Every structure is written in structure tokens, then in C-alpha cells.
């Protein structure tokens, strides 16, 4: 392959840099880690470039087929006590492909939606469809009715494949699906419902012989491989178009994090999201390793599974680590082989506790969005950082942080209408320039949402950036810190309050298990005042004075949650992001909210139950906020 001269240039440059390593080490303590990371990135970049040029196109499916040929007997999947080798999964996917080809008359380019639980079926059905050259939409198995129909229709599929567990959900919308001429296939031996076709018999009877490559002759690196739905905190989910190029880039993350061919990877995240599907499963295929697949995350089973299956790499997201830290302490907690944890969204206090309890695990915190064109990985051991900025990364994936107006929820612009770069140490909105190398494909069937993520005239008239909607900060050592999602920061008394920081402090109160912090409007006030929905630890009541002490000791006055709402559980999205919008709308009126409410009373120096009297006094401005 002829390589992009730029890659060669950078390889040489990295080589020179390594020569002067010992000198630099003294002055740049992270230089070694930077170099190792840059070296791995360049290697992978060269591979991606090769895949772009090679004919016929080499997809993650081809990578799987090579692995199945190299080590057919190696276990690919462990699931609920059963194991499936690479060879078996390959054959099973041939059968699925043949059955679907015969029954649904699928051909290259036809989209197919999967509405399946986290189970091996998910994996080989996808592989089978990939063999037919069909893009696959990964429907979230928690969605129902209108949302299900919406998600299904944005991917333009005429076929949906479902599992018996989700049959009821599909029956609910079956009349609409039938009206639209959609074929529904159930992975079961029989089905008595008109309009749902069982498929398992046909799969069982189909030949397991390999399918011709010609069936997918036109698939290339820019073709759509998947539709993955982004779990917004507002509105209906959007179907991000995931090209084969993006699949490759995400599949390299395990390699970037140092996962090797001997590792065993534990997946307990849903396969319908990019974390589980791309970073987890596709990444495991890229490495040719064994996956321990679970239907869903279980904190109590977690370490037993890791011990039983010799798991060496775990994946986490959002609150996973907190759930693990909340399990009762056991003697054998450090007795496991987990050496790497890949994920995102862990809070620093939980991170430290996690390492204390469960031993020396390399946490690879990363920042990326399914549809985004920019990401970071924490490849050093800096607690709290999501990654590091380095020139190679920035050269290939140009990005910048720009000043952002929290109040108006839009970038600050100067007199020429251009955005202003945030100063070092200042929190700014992360935007990634849209280029050939870092494209933003957008959302299927939603031009309006796609356009909303595009930001023009950022640093120059006519330039085009992807708006991540995330606020980050770059420190003087080039570490990148995730601050908040836009909307997860609110403004009160002219100050920005990052909800995650407040939540960290609240959960230090001994009675509080989890906290979801947001801002609520108060009549006659600018901005929004802090409020938190919290859950309590088992057997605990809300300890007003302890919670008061925590927030007063650790938070500036403007950031303190003035209202606390006790909930039996916090509502989460599929990726454990907390839902805020409804809570924000519900506000703090005790007449409308059944949950217990508390009010921070600075005079009494404690939280007090929020009564109608207090509520009215706030509304009449007898109580000053």
C-alpha cells in the first residue's frame, strides 16, 4: 500500500522524539506514556489507511472470518454457562444468513432492525446480516410503542428480527408495522400470531456452508454498517449512522488500551450501544479474544463471574463502578485477574475507592460519542482526566474548546460572528472540525437534528465543526477533563454549577446513595437554583444535619442544592445517565410532588421539610434565596 506521506512524516517524527526520550522525560513526565500511545495510534492509523485502500474492502466481518479460520476451536462467547467457539459462531451465522436470504429475500444494502436481548443470537444474527451486506439497526430493547416505531422507522428497514422475550412489545405495534408492510421474524420455533414469522426452524435446517463474498461486493469503508441510537436525555432517540470506517476506529480502542490476544473481555453493557457493541464486541473480534457476555449488569455477580471465567478486561459506564463499590465488602475482593477497565463517566471519588477495594486495575477512561468525530482516551494514570491532548491526535482530529454561554446554551461569538477559543484551564465546548478523516455522517432520517450538531463559522468564516454538546477543560499539562454535558450545567447567581460536582459532594453524606442534581426555575429569579433528587441507603432516613454539613463544608453557597427530593430510585437512561428533564419541569412545589421534599434553611443550619408555608414564603419572596 502506498501510505499517506503524512503518516510517514509522523512516524519519523515520533522516532526522533523517542531518541531524545531521556532528556524529555525529565521535563515532560508523561512523555513515555505519550510516546507509547502515539506509537500505538500511528500503527492503528496505518492499518486503518490500509483497510481504506485494500480491495475488496476488509471489514470487521472479514476480521472475524480470519479469526474463525485461525482458531476455530477458541471460545468466542461464554453465555449463561454455555460456550460457543469462533468456528461455531461462524457456522451459526451462515445458517442465519441463509435462512434470512431465503425467507426475507434480503440483498446487499437492505437495512434490517434487530430487537434482541443481550444474547449470542444478537451476535450471530448481526454477523449473518453482515455476510449479506445488510446494514443493521440496533434497537434498544427497553423502548416500547411510539418510541419503538420511531426508532424503527428512522433506519428505513423493511425487516425486523425479534426474540421471544420482546414479542409482547412488538405485538403492541404490530398493526402499524403490518400497515407499512414490515416483515417481522421471531427467533423461535413457532409463533401463533398472524404477522409474526418464526425463523428458528428455517435457521436450523439451513446449510452452514460459507456464503459468497460477492453477496457484499459493494460494501466499502464509507458504507453504513450500523445504526446506533443515541440515548438523549430529551426527545426521541436519534439513529446515528455508523460507517465501516467508524466501526474500525471504535474496534481499535481495545488495542489502544493495551488489550492483547490473550485477554478475556467481560461485556455486561447492552449490545445496542456503541460501548457494548463496538468497543466491546467488535473490539474483541479485532483482538480475536474471548467474550463473557451477560444479559445485564449485576453488581453482586460481577466479581464471581470475573473469577470463574478468568476475566482480564472489564467495561464500565456511568454508575457501574459506584454500584460495585456499594456492594458489601468481601475478603476475596482483590482475588481476580482483571487488569484493565475501559469505559467512561466514572467520578474521581468512586475511581479511587474502586482501586482501593478491588486492586490495581488500569482504568482507561475515554471520551467519545457514537456519532461524534472526536474522542480522547486516558492512557496515563492521571485520576480524573479523560485523556490527554497531543499534537498527533490534534493534527489528525482537529478540535478546539470554545467559550460557551451557559445561560443561552450557545457558543459565545465575537463582533465578527466567530467563536472564541477558551483559555487554558477554562471550561469550553468541545467541537471537532468535520473533515474527510473525521467525518460527521449524521442521523438517519433526521436532517434537522443532524444540522443542529453542525456548527459553522467557528474559527474562520465558512468552516464546519461537529458540536459535541460537551463541556471540557484542558489543563496546563494537557490533560483533558470532562466537565459536563451542556444542560448538565446550570447557572445561579451568575455562577455556573456543574451538576456532577454537586452530586459527588452529596453522596459523601452517609445516608445518601445516589444523587441527581439539576437546576429549577424560581419565579422572579434569573437562572436556576440547585435541586437534587436523591436515593437513600438501605435502612437510612434522610439525615438533615449531616447533608447540610456536607454541602456547606464543600460547596460555595450558589452551588448548594436548596431543595432535596427523596426518591425510591432514580430514573436512568439505558446507559445509566440520569434523567433530568422531567424533574426540572416538576420543580419543587410540595402540592404537586408526592416524594418527600426538604429545603436548605441557612438560619436553622439544616435541611427542613419543605412545607406549603415555606413554598409560599419563597413565592412571595419572604424567604430570600
Ligand X SMILES: *[C@@H]1O[C@H](CO)[C@@H](O)[C@H](O)[C@H]1NC(C)=O
Distance CA 170, CA 181 (A): 14
Kindly state the smallest distance separating residue 607's Cβ from ligand X, in Å.
Answer: 32
Kindly state the smallest distance separating residue 183's Cβ from ligand X, in Å.
Answer: 40
Q: Phi and psi (nearest 5°) for 130?
A: -60, -35
CB nearer to ligand X: give 382 or 453. Answer: 382
> Is residue 156 within 8 Å of residue 146, measured between CB atoms?
no
Kindly state the smallest distance separating residue 337's Cβ from ligand X, in Å.
Answer: 8
Pattern 227-256, ligand X, x by CB under 6 A: ------------------------------
Kindly state the smallest distance separating residue 38's Cβ from ligand X, in Å.
Answer: 17
Distance CA 375, CA 14 (A): 21
CB nearer to ligand X: give 23 or 28. Answer: 28
Measured from the Cβ of residue 524, the count of other Cβ atoms closer than 10 Å reads 10
In the complex, residue closest to ligand X by CB:
383
**Cell numbers 437546576: residue:** 519
Cell numbers placing 444: 438517519
Kindly state the smallest distance separating residue 433's Cβ from ligand X, in Å.
Answer: 24
Query: Does residue number 309 form part of the binding site for ligand X (CB under 6 A)?
Result: yes
CB nearer to ligand X: give 286 or 365. Answer: 365
- Where helices occur in 155-189 by DSSP H, the ranges are 167-179
For residue 407, the number of C-alpha atoms closer than 13 Å in the C-beta half-sphere is 7
Kindly state the smallest distance separating residue 390's Cβ from ligand X, in Å.
Answer: 15
Kindly state the smallest distance separating residue 75's Cβ from ligand X, in Å.
Answer: 8
> Is residue 443 within 8 Å of residue 154, measured between CB atoms?
yes
CB nearer to ligand X: give 246 or 382. Answer: 382
- Between the alpha carbon of residue 54 and those of residues 49, 220, 289, 291, 623, the distances in Å are 9, 10, 24, 29, 70
Kindly state the smallest distance separating residue 65's Cβ from ligand X, in Å.
Answer: 24
Cell numbers placing 431: 467541537
Direct distance between the N- and C-terminal alpha carbons of the chain, in angstroms, rounded to an integer = 67
CB nearer to ligand X: give 47 or 362. Answer: 362
User: Which residues between 127 and 146 bind ligand X (CB under 6 A)?
Assistant: none
Pattern 159-198, ligand X, x by CB under 6 A: ----------------------------------------
CB nearer to ligand X: give 277 or 354. Answer: 354
Kindly state the smallest distance separating residue 424's Cβ from ligand X, in Å.
Answer: 18
CB nearer to ligand X: give 109 or 384. Answer: 384
The H or E element spanning position 288 is none
CB nearer to ligand X: give 351 or 465. Answer: 351
Instruction: Give me the helix-helix angle, 145-154 and 167-179, nearest 10°.
Output: 60
DSSP 465-510: EEEEEEEEEE-TT-EEEEEEETTSEEEETTEEEEHHHHHHHHTTST
Kindly state the smallest distance separating residue 205's Cβ from ligand X, in Å.
Answer: 33
One of 141, 323, 351, 376 touching ligand X (CB under 6 A): 351
Distance CA 531, CA 133 (A): 50
Distance CA 242, CA 135 (A): 9
Measured from the Cβ of residue 508, the count of other Cβ atoms closer than 10 Å reads 16
**Cell numbers 461485556: residue:** 267
CB nearer to ligand X: give 576 or 615. Answer: 576
CB nearer to ligand X: give 11 or 380. Answer: 380
* Closest listed residue to residue 121, CA positions, set 77, 183, 184: 77
Sign of the four-CA dihedral 253, 259, 261, 262: negative
CB nearer to ligand X: give 115 or 303. Answer: 303
Kindly state the smallest distance separating residue 363's Cβ from ligand X, in Å.
Answer: 4
Distance CA 27, CA 30 (A): 9
Cell numbers placing 316: 464500565
Kindly state the smallest distance separating residue 380's Cβ from ligand X, in Å.
Answer: 6
CB nearer to ligand X: give 69 or 310. Answer: 310
**Total chain residues near ligand X (CB under 6 A):** 13
User: Which residues between 495 and 534 bind ligand X (CB under 6 A)?
Assistant: none
User: Which residues between 354 and 393 bind ligand X (CB under 6 A)?
Assistant: 362-363, 365, 378, 381-386
Kindly state the smallest distance separating residue 41's Cβ from ligand X, in Å.
Answer: 17
Measured from the Cβ of residue 101, the count of other Cβ atoms closer than 10 Å reads 18
One of 218, 310, 611, 620 touching ligand X (CB under 6 A): 310
CB nearer to ligand X: give 353 or 546. Answer: 353
User: Which residues between 386 and 445 bind ligand X (CB under 6 A)?
Assistant: 386
The H or E element spanning position 304 is helix 299-308
> Is residue 100 within 8 Å of residue 215, measured between CB atoms?
no
* Contacts to ligand X by CB under 6 A: 309-310, 351, 362-363, 365, 378, 381-386
Amino acid at each position: 500500500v502506498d501510505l499517506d506521506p503524512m503518516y510517514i512524516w509522523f512516524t519519523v517524527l515520533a522516532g526522533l522524539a523517542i531518541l531524545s526520550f531521556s532528556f524529555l522525560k525529565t521535563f515532560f513526565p508523561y512523555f513515555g506514556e505519550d510516546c507509547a500511545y502515539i506509537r500505538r495510534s500511528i500503527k492503528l492509523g496505518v492499518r486503518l489507511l490500509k483497510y481504506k485502500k485494500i480491495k475488496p474492502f476488509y471489514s470487521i466481518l472479514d476480521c472475524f472470518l480470519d479469526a474463525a479460520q485461525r482458531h476455530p476451536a477458541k471460545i468466542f462467547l461464554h453465555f449463561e454457562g454455555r460456550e460457543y467457539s469462533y468456528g461455531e459462531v461462524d457456522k451459526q451465522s451462515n445458517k442465519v444468513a441463509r435462512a434470512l436470504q431465503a425467507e426475507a429475500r434480503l440483498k446487499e444494502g437492505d437495512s434490517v432492525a434487530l430487537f434482541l436481548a443481550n444474547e449470542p443470537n444478537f451476535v450471530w444474527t448481526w454477523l449473518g446480516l453482515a455476510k449479506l451486506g445488510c446494514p443493521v439497526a440496533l434497537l434498544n430493547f427497553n423502548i416500547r410503542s411510539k418510541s419503538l416505531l420511531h426508532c424503527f422507522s428512522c433506519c428505513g428497514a423493511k425487516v425486523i428480527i425479534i426474540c421471544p422475550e420482546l414479542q409482547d412489545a412488538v405485538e403492541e405495534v404490530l398493526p402499524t408495522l403490518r400497515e407499512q408492510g414490515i416483515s417481522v421474524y421471531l427467533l423461535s420455533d413457532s409463533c401463533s400470531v398472524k404477522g409474526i414469522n418464526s425463523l428458528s426452524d428455517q435457521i436450523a435446517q439451513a446449510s452452514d456452508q460459507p456464503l459468497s463474498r460477492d453477496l457484499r461486493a459493494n460494501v466499502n469503508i464509507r458504507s453504513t454498517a450500523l445504526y446506533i441510537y443515541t440515548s438523549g436525555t430529551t426527545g426521541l432517540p436519534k439513529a446515528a449512522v455508523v460507517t465501516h470506517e467508524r466501526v474500525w476506529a471504535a474496534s481499535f480502542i481495545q488495542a489502544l488500551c493495551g488489550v492483547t490476544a490473550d485477554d478475556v473481555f467481560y461485556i455486561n453493557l447492552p449490545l445496542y450501544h456503541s460501548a457494548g457493541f463496538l468497543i466491546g464486541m467488535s473490539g474483541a473480534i479485532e483482538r480475536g479474544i474471548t467474550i463473557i457476555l451477560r444479559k445485564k449488569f449485576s453488581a453482586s455477580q460481577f466479581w464471581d463471574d470475573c473469577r470463574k471465567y478468568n476475566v482480564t478486561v472489564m467495561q464500565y459506564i456511568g454508575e457501574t463502578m459506584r454500584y460495585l463499590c456499594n456492594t458489601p465488602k468481601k475478603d476475596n475482593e482483590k482475588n481476580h485477574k482483571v487488569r484493565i477497565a475501559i469505559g467512561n463517566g466514572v467520578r474521581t471519588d468512586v475511581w479511587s475507592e474502586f482501586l482501593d477495594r478491588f486492586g490495581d486495575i488500569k482504568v482507561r477512561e475515554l471520551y467519545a460519542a457514537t456519532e461524534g468525530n472526536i474522542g480522547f482516551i486516558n492512557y496515563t494514570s492521571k485520576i480524573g482526566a479523560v485523556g490527554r491532548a497531543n499534537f498527533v491526535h490534534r493534527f489528525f482530529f482537529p478540535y478546539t474548546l470554545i467559550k460557551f454561554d451557559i445561560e443561552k446554551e450557545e457558543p459565545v461569538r465575537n463582533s465578527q460572528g466567530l467563536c472564541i477559543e477558551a483559555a487554558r484551564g477554562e471550561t469550553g465546548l468541545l467541537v471537532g472540525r468535520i473533515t474527510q478523516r473525521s467525518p460527521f455522517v449524521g442521523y438517519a432520517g433526521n436532517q434537522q437534528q443532524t444540522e443542529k450538531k453542525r456548527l459553522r463559522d467557528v474559527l474562520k468564516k465558512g468552516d464546519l465543526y461537529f458540536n459535541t454538546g460537551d463541556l471540557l477543560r484542558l489543563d496546563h499539562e494537557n490533560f483533558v477533563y470532562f466537565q459536563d454535558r451542556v444542560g448538565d450545567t446550570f447557572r445561579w447567581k451568575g455562577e455556573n454549577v456543574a451538576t456532577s460536582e454537586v452530586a459527588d459532594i452529596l453522596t459523601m453524606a452517609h445516608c445518601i446513595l445516589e444523587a441527581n442534581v439539576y437546576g429549577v426555575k424560581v419565579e422572579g429569579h434569573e437562572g436556576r437554583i440547585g435541586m437534587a433528587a436523591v436515593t437513600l441507603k438501605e435502612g437510612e432516613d434522610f439525615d438533615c444535619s449531616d447533608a447540610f454539613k456536607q454541602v456547606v463544608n464543600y460547596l460555595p453557597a450558589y452551588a448548594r442544592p436548596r431543595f432535596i427530593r427523596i426518591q425510591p430510585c432514580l430514573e436512568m437512561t439505558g446507559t445509566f445517565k440520569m434523567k433530568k428533564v422531567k424533574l426540572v419541569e416538576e420543580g419543587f412545589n410540595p402540592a404537586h410532588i408526592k416524594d418527600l421534599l426538604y429545603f436548605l434553611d441557612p438560619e436553622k443550619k439544616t435541611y427542613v421539610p419543605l412545607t406549603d408555608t415555606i413554598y409560599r414564603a419563597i413565592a412571595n419572596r419572604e424567604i430570600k434565596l
